[in-house]
Amino acid sequence: MANDIPATPDASSSLAASGRRVFEIEARGLDAVAARIDGAFSAACELILAGRGRVVCTGMGKSGHIARKIAATLASTGTPAFYVHPGEAGHGDLGMITDADVLLALSYSGESDEVLMLLPVLKRQGNRLVAMTGRAASTLAREADVHLDVSVPTEACPLDLAPTSSTTASLAMGDALAVALLEARGFTADDFARSHPAGTLGRRLLLHIADVMHAGDEVPKVRETARLSEALVEMSRKRLGMTAIVDGQDRLLGLFTDGDLRRTLDDDHADLRNTLIAEVMTHAPKTIAPDRLAVEAAQLMEAHKINALLVVDEERRVVGALNIHDLLRARVV
């Protein structure tokens, strides 16, 4: 089959050159649009910031795909937004748009019939319009409260037909709006995590020690009067590779781990049955509070080359325990 014939060196070189040319053309297009970031851009941001509702993004064809992505980026960075297909809007989905919403309409020609059809209804409803087009003299640009010019010198398509440079420019303009609005709102990493609870950042910023630790009867602990053999039974039963040593009020006195056990076994004079746990425990072990972030536990374990932590309250009472496997299961590390 023809597809199975490997490309010749000359053909490969030509393909690579075509790819590089696209990057060069689109980079020039982005430079041209960036040079036009001015008062209109600021006005668009101010209009959106003053809005009482959401940003409704719309567009047909390739512009519609870009509008959908812009809506997703806005929504995840502190500006409530959603995408409406202009064709569906003309058949009932206009009911999703309230008079408090701002419309962000994309059409490189500025003459998309499906988009223009919506304008009379939305204008009558009182919606403000930000248009993103490649023609300042187009109908959509003239009807807009704010027009953002995303015209590019040429498409990367050698036929100058397929939207390439123009869609890249529109996408970059949408990103510019999202970032400018993010900064204006004082949007933080914590805010971002709250809208991405299933993502890695969300888990790292929202998950606390209390969410992943073992608590209650699952926490391995023995009194300071216990013998080493009793501590080993407790460690085996709770399966965390350690046990806390506490006083009568559950206040932490020390810790005994699998590592401590190995060191004890190296001592020829150790009596596993009769040695008191207080004689072989680690004094002043590393601990963490239940209200700290789970990622802090991972950082503490890594810094001190340990695999487990006891969780204590303000009075040094042992309230929980966790090990590296708990953090792995929670996908914190």
* Lowest mean per-residue pLDDT among 59-63, 204-208, 298-302: 204-208
Give the domain-ending residue among 135, 153, 187.
Answer: 187
Is the full-model pTM beyond 0.75?
Answer: no
* Lowest mean per-residue pLDDT among 4-18, 81-95, 233-247: 4-18
Mean pLDDT of the chain, nearest integer: 88
Give the domain-ending residue among 187, 218, 233.
Answer: 187
CATH of the domain at 131: 3.40.50.10490
Number of domains in the chain: 2
CATH of the domain at 275: 3.10.580.10
Residue 153 has pLDDT above 90, yes or no: yes
Report yes or no on 75 lying in a domain.
Answer: yes
Report yes or no on 5 lying in a domain.
Answer: no
Residues 183 and 34 in one domain: yes
Residues 288 and 165 in one domain: no
**How far is Cα 139 from Cα 160, in angstroms, rounded to an integer?**
22
- The average pLDDT across 260-274 equals 79
**pLDDT-based confidence at 1, cuts 50/70/90?**
very low
Residues 53 and 157 in one domain: yes
**How far is Cα 19 from Cα 14, in angstroms, rounded to an integer?**
9
Q: Give the residue among 172, 108, 173, 171 at the shortest CA–CA distance from 138.
A: 108
Residues 161 and 259 in one domain: no
Residues 169 and 217 in one domain: no
CA distances from 3 to 6, 13, 15, 16, 19 (A): 8, 18, 15, 18, 20
Residue-range definition of the domain harbouring residue 121: 23-187
Residues 33 and 174 in one domain: yes
Give the domain-ending residue among 136, 154, 187.
Answer: 187
Binding residue per annotation — 269? no
Residue 54 has pLDDT above 50, yes or no: yes
10 or 228: whose pLDDT is higher? 228
Report yes or no on 202 lying in a domain.
Answer: no
Residues 137 and 221 in one domain: no
Residues 160 and 216 in one domain: no
Report yes or no on 201 lying in a domain.
Answer: no
Percent of the chain having pLDDT more than 70?
91
Report yes or no on 113 lying in a domain.
Answer: yes
**How far is Cα 147 from Cα 134, in angstroms, rounded to an integer?**
10
Strands 55-59 and 81-83: parallel
Ranges 94-98, 99-103, 281-285, 306-310, most confident: 99-103
Report yes or no on 12 lying in a domain.
Answer: no
Residue 116 has pLDDT above 90, yes or no: yes
Residues 253 and 157 in one domain: no
| pLDDT tens digits, one per residue of 313-330 | 999 999 999 988 888 887
Residues 173 and 264 in one domain: no
Report yes or no on 18 lying in a domain.
Answer: no
Residues 278 and 220 in one domain: yes
Which pLDDT score is estimated for 202? 52
Which pLDDT score is estimated for 92? 75
Residues 317 and 217 in one domain: yes
**CB 150 within 8 Å of CB 166:** yes
**How far is Cα 158 from Cα 144, in angstroms, rounded to an integer?**
32
**How far is Cα 248 from Cα 246, in angstroms, rounded to an integer?**
7
Which pLDDT score is estimated for 272? 74
Report yes or no on 149 lying in a domain.
Answer: yes
